[in-house]
Chain A
Amino acid sequence: MDYKGDILYIEQVLAGKSNAFSYIVDRHKNKAYNLAFRICGNHEEAEEVAQDSFLKVYRSLKGFKMKSSFATWLYRIVYNTAISHVRIKKKGVLSLEDFPADATDFIGNNTSEEEAEKEYRSSLINFALQKINEEERGLISLYYYEEMSTDEISDLTGISKSNIKVKLFRARQKMLEIIEKVEKKKLIYHETHMIDQNYNHY
């Protein structure tokens, strides 16, 4: 992301041209929304969180130190807003039954089997993300989706580097356990399905 471009627009907003803020929103909206979505788990809340975050950024733009990275500052606000949002709106825990066992459930009218498998994997990872706590969810999103280093995550979240490594390790373990369980369920489903088909055949 062009850092100088951000500064240029920020200076314009601070000079009273509030419309210049729309360029800033346009430049960062997808990344901000994506992070909010990974932490919140649904589109409605992600939009609300991303909008609130941009509003917070606008309000506190005067306090932004031009020497630091605007993107890091913005994502810090998105991360904190999303975490607080999820903590306030604590939802019930999802059970494994909430996830469809058959990958064919993801095949639409015009999708190939390969695309359906991709869709299945993506939904499975989102499901696993929703089963871990919001902080771990945020860290996983920053590490895997935003492809940030542990140093960058530490700078953004204020959590020490060693602590991030521990939290990431735990989150990874939890997610893999969930994925394993769902995959087992999928396998059992297919086996039973095959037995049923063979039985009907004879």
Chain B
Amino acid sequence: MNKQEKYKEDLLKQYINPERIEKAPEGFTSKVMMRIQLEAALLKAAGRLRNKNLVPVISAAITILLIVAAFLIPGSETDLSALPVVELIKNIKVSLPEINLTSIFNFNLPGLLIYVFIGILILTLFDRALNMLFHREK
């Protein structure tokens, strides 16, 4: 630092008093903490809302997937094989595993109802499990 710069620095120091600190106003800490708590509460509420919406969305997605899968998985001796989608899948070299659905479609209505009820029961249990998982308090 040359002489002129030093002179200017000293001159400015005459006006600046580093001990004169502008102190934070009364209640500053409590205001900051209040904002933090408010933000945390808002984030928690937003998370809960998101999780609440997530459960039916996941359930619906899985149900749709199961329904689509039921139509797409090719059965060996059923009418479903006539579907163009099934035809398309059959042409793919890596095919999906075959499930024999003949027995299901040969059932009469009361016989089929048992399976429907079991299906509903499984889906309900699955829904409850998801519900518990996403509503668990952190």
Contacts and interface: CB of A to CB of B under 8 A. Distances in A.
Contacts of B37: 18
Contact of B32 (A38, A43, A55, A145): A55
A118 B17 contact: yes
Interface stretch (B20-28, B67-75, B101-109, B116-124): B20-28
A19 interface: yes
Contacts of A169: 5
Nearest to B15: A125
Interface of A is mostly: helix
B22 A18 contact: no
B interface bracket (residues with beta carbon within 8 Å of A): 20 to 34
A47 B35 contact: no
A37 B36 contact: no
B23 A33 contact: yes
Contacts of B28: 25, 29, 33, 47, 50-51
Contact of A29 (B13, B29, B39): B29
A22 B39 contact: no
A interface bracket (residues with beta carbon within 8 Å of B): 35 or more
B40 A18 contact: yes
10 contacts: A21-B36, A26-B29, A29-B24, A33-B24, A34-B22, A38-B22, A46-B22, A58-B36, A121-B14, A173-B8
Interface string A26-43: 100111111001100001
Find the residue from B24, B33, B36 having the highest chain A CB count within 10 A.
B24
B110 interface: no
Contacts of A172: 8-9, 12
A126 to B, nearest CB: 9
A21 B65 CA distance: 47
B82 interface: no
A170 to B, nearest CB: 11
Given A50-B28, A55-B39, A173-B8, 19 more contacts: A25-B33, A26-B29, A29-B24, A29-B28, A33-B22, A33-B24, A34-B21, A34-B23, A37-B22, A38-B22, A46-B22, A51-B28, A55-B32, A121-B15, A122-B17, A144-B12, A145-B21, A169-B5, A179-B12
For the complex of A and B, the 10 pairs showing the least CB-CB separation, nearest first, are A33-B24, A29-B24, A37-B22, A125-B15, A144-B16, A25-B29, A54-B32, A34-B22, A34-B21, A25-B32
Contact of A30 (B12, B18, B23): B23
A43 B22 CA distance: 9
Given A51-B35, A172-B8, A172-B9, A30 B15 contact: no
Contacts of B17: 118, 121-122
Nearest to B35: A55
B31 interface: yes
A55 B28 CA distance: 12
Contact of A51 (B13, B18, B32): B32
Nearest to B21: A34
Contacts of A145: 16, 18, 21
A172 B1 CA distance: 13
